Amino acid sequence: MIRHGRSIGVGLVTIALATSACVGPATTIAAYEGKARRAAQDALSAVNTALLGVRIHERGSLLENYFETMLSQTEDDISSVQNSFDSIQPPNSKSSDKLRDQLDNLLSDGVSGIAQLRISARREDGPALVQAATQLAPTAKDLSQFVESHGG
Amino acid sequence: MSKLLNLALGVLTAIGGFVDIGDLVTSGVVGSRFGLSLAWATILGVVGICLYAEMSGRVAAITGRGTFDLVRERLGPRAGLANLTASFFVTALTFAAEIGGVALSLELVTSVNYLLLVPWIGLVMWFVVWRVKFTYLENTFGILGLALLAFGVALWRLHPDWSNLLHQVVAPHKPGTESLQVYFYYAIALFGAAMTPYEVFFFSSGGVEEKWSKKDLAVERANVFVGFPLGGMLSLSIAAVASLVLLPAQIGVSNLSQVGLPIAVAGGKILLAFSLLGFVAATFGAALETGLSCGYSVAQYFGWQWGKFVSPRKAARFHLVVLLSLLFAVAAVLTTIDPVKLTEYSVVFSAVALPLTYFPILVIANDPDYMGENVNGRLTNALATVFLALVIIASVAAIPLMIWTKAGQ
Amino acid sequence: MRLSDLIDTPVTGTDGTELGFVIDVRCHQDGPIRGAMQTLRVHSLIVSRTHVGSLLGYERRQQQGPWLIKILVRFLHRHAFIVDWDDVEREGNAFRLRASAQPRPLPE
Amino acid sequence: MTTARIIDLQLRLLDRQVIDTDGKFVCNVDDLELDVDEQGTPFVTAILVGPRALGPRFSGRLGRWVVAIATRLSEDRSTEPLRIDYRQVTEIGNVVKLARTKAELGVTPLEEWVDSRIIARIPGSGHAPE
């Protein structure tokens, strides 16, 4: 076992990095729905992070730089969730297409909502921040419902 | 008096030095998705690192030789080289993750994009490795890393239902929404985060650097058996605060800023600022440790002069390897790979590489020719054999699980 | 010659049957003084059928060590034996045991 | 029974750390050179050092490749490795101690090359960290 240590190690490492990084095409409707639920969950996590951040920030418990960085890091997260979900080839079924449009709208609302928060935070414009947060809240509810209704 | 101070310093450094980006991220991710139902993996990892570090520290004190020097001797140059290649890859990967961790932490402090900070961090790191004396380096970052006690304070201020927390730990219950394979993937990640090989390379090489001998065994054991468990408790508190604040808010940790949110919730700006000092110091200290460990492992395999107790010119090849590893690590982070994912890969691959160095050290710690009467006791051997099995199982299961769960999706 | 030339040399019995190969060379420090110490003269060869675990030393002595590893390595090296240098003769690229050879099992 | 010390070369000497008279690390025992005395008994005459000693112990391509590169890079262009005569050895234990300093031994050309060409050029490399 020790004698072949090197060749086994190198082979395994390349396989692992290759498969776990890319997002394969969805095969069945159920698999696609699973990926949609997964994407909705990650997006919900990002939106909740932003909303929680605003609440703590309004209470004066969050450092400015920390709050701004958190919003931009979370914005990156939700954007990459949307990009990787959109890149999945949906199976050709009406229900999958409906599912895709429904989720895509929610993801876009989430991305633009968090972006709006990040802009207001950088401008340190309190009222705009609160207003953007209240607009974002329904997206969180819809995403949460989407996750529930798709086996979350 | 100085012996007591030395002891206290050692313990504090072990606590501060225990938590690194791997613990911060993995404990945060796991706490926010699994609550404390995976605490057993961290506890196992802590017991494992105590056992492993104590053995390799004792071997360093008695034989005056570093881990990889002995690994080559016990496995032969061929198997030793395969071992070195795998361990060096994991240590360099962890080095990159730690530098990413420093950058992310400084971004939280300055809100300057982390990628812009990375080259400067590399420069400062090179200066510290090059100019700062080993003991100052270890003590400063170890002590500053204690600022992560903010997680403990935050946990206290959240007034949790302690019996519920304890129940989650003692009677682990996998959340329904998570699959079994993801559950065990993160168990291995936590185990790898707690029982990181580089910590042992650094700990034992440090023992040789500081010329430990038999009389230092007491201090060495105190460092390990008090410092590491307290460090492990810190990891658990990171997971606990995440489970109390993030889990109910349906937030799964995907970036470093989320890991610090519970501290702001519990303790406001001051506690958050204090914890950020800990974030930067712990990751910077860990980056130094992994950087030096890259040099230690290669130099010890070939028998070159290594270590910081001599001038860089006296250990030219060692310092060259550290410099090249630093350039690799900085370049790896600048490829804009998500530092959190990079960290998860580093802890899982740490688990894969663990048996490669754990096994030879276990054998040497039992060799009377080397250790005289300081060989392992019967209890240590029994425990060490159990952990040998555990470490091998984790190592074998790590990569298949990583592929199956697409790294924990 | 180099030590690595001796290691791995096949060892056959008096009748030519394969017994294994040299996994280590035992020396006694009883040669003439050369510099600060007496030289290391080859006294016997340690022969086994596998290299795996041969560097751990379990098959040499009653070594205390994790019981499980000791058992495993002992099993791997159950055919290991030690034979004096004078009891072997070079034959091509192998060592053949002389008729007078008394190989001793390991661990002694 | 002779009271002479018994050393199994592979288990107790090969691949051990070699340190010089100042305690600085010189190299590992990459291989051992043996000669044959009048009675035909081999005895250790030197420690062999460097890639040209270590290379042949790797089977196959890697070994030949290591030796080939090391030979081309070496001053004397020979495939014979550097050696430290047994006379220099003062102690064989957890480590092998020598009577000479690293500079006098001259068995670490790569160290000198890296030192003079790269490390020495970087400021502050001359003295130990304070």
pLDDT in tens, D25-49: 999 999 999 999 999 999 999 999 9
What is the per-residue pLDDT across B28-37, written as a single tens digit (0 to 9) for each? 999 999 999 9
Q: Which residues pair with D92 in a beta bridge?
A: D96
How crowded is residue A130: how many other Cβ atoms within 10 Å of its Cβ? Answer: 16
Domains assigned to chain D: 9-118 (2.30.30.240)
Confidence of residue B349 (pLDDT cuts 50, 70, 90): very high
For residue C90, is it within any domain? yes
Concatenating the DSSP letter of every residue in B200-255 gives HHHHHHHHHHTT--GGGHHHHHHIIIIIHHHHHHHHHHHHHHHHHHTTTTT----S
Q: Which residues pair with D31 in a beta bridge?
A: D48
pLDDT at A1: 35
Beta-carbon separation of D34 and C2 below 8 A: yes
**Interchain contact A53–B (C-beta under 8 A):** yes
pLDDT at A78: 95
With beta carbons under 8 A apart, name residues in chain D contacting C25: 8-10
- pLDDT(A32) > 50: yes
**Interchain contact C33–B (C-beta under 8 A):** no
Task: Among D10, D11, D17, D48, pick the best mutation site for testing chain B contact (most B Cβ within 10 A).
Answer: D17
The CATH number of whichever domain residue C23 belongs to comes to 2.30.30.240
Q: Which ipTM value was assigned to this complex? A: 0.85
For residue C72, is it within any domain? no
Beta-carbon separation of D24 and B370 below 8 A: no
Question: Tokens at residue B288, please?
Answer: 């130094």
CA distance D54 to chain B (A): 8
CA distance B399 to chain D (A): 27
- pLDDT(B309) > 50: yes
**For C55-77, what is the mean pLDDT?**
79
- Contact partners for chain B, using 3 or more CB pairs closer than 8 A, are A, C, D
Q: How many domains does chain C have?
A: 1
Task: Among D86, D94, D96, D105, pick the best mutation site for testing chain C contact (most C Cβ within 10 A).
Answer: D86
Domain that holds residue C12: 3-51+80-100
Question: Tokens at residue B366, please?
Answer: 């039992």
Query: For chain D, what is the mean pLDDT?
Result: 87
**For D56-74, what is the mean pLDDT?**
87
Query: For chain B, what is the mean pLDDT?
Result: 90
CA distance C57 to B94: 34
> Who has greater pLDDT, B311 or C102?
C102
What is the per-residue pLDDT across B24-65, written as a single tens digit (0 to 9) for each? 999 999 999 999 999 999 999 999 999 999 999 999 999 888
What is the per-residue pLDDT across B250-283, written as a single tens digit (0 to 9) for each? 999 999 999 999 999 999 999 999 999 999 999 9
> Who has greater pLDDT, C61 or B141?
B141
Q: Which residues pair with C47 in a beta bridge?
A: C22, C81
- pLDDT(B193) > 80: yes
pLDDT at D2: 53
> Who has greater pLDDT, A105 or B135?
A105
Angle at C45 between CA C40 and CA C50, to 5 degrees: 130
Q: Which of B15, B105, B79, B93 is nearest to B301 (CA)?
A: B79
Task: Among C69, C70, C72, pick the best mutation site for testing chain B contact (most B Cβ within 10 A).
Answer: C69
pLDDT at A7: 55
Q: What is the DSSP letter of D58?
A: S
Confidence of residue A2 (pLDDT cuts 50, 70, 90): very low
pLDDT at B407: 82
**Interchain contact D63–C (C-beta under 8 A):** no
Which of the four CATH numbers 1.10.510.10, 1.10.10.10, 3.30.70.270, 1.20.1740.10 does domain B20-404 have? 1.20.1740.10
With beta carbons under 8 A apart, name residues in chain B contacting C53: none
pLDDT at B409: 77
Beta-carbon separation of D17 and B303 below 8 A: yes
pLDDT at A138: 95
CA distance B363 to B71: 10
For residue C29, is it within any domain? yes
Contacts of C47 (CB under 8 A, 6+ apart): C11, C19, C20, C21, C22, C23, C80, C81, C82, C83, C103
Report the range of poorest mean pLDDT among B14-28, B127-141, D56-70: B127-141
Confidence of residue C67 (pLDDT cuts 50, 70, 90): confident
Chain C residues interacting with chain D (CB cutoff of 8 angstroms): 1-4, 6-7, 23-31, 34-43, 46, 54-55, 57, 60, 85
Burial class for B154, CB neighbours closer than 10 Å (0-12, 13-18, 19+): buried
Confidence of residue B1 (pLDDT cuts 50, 70, 90): low
For residue C95, is it within any domain? yes
With beta carbons under 8 A apart, name residues in chain B contacting C52: none
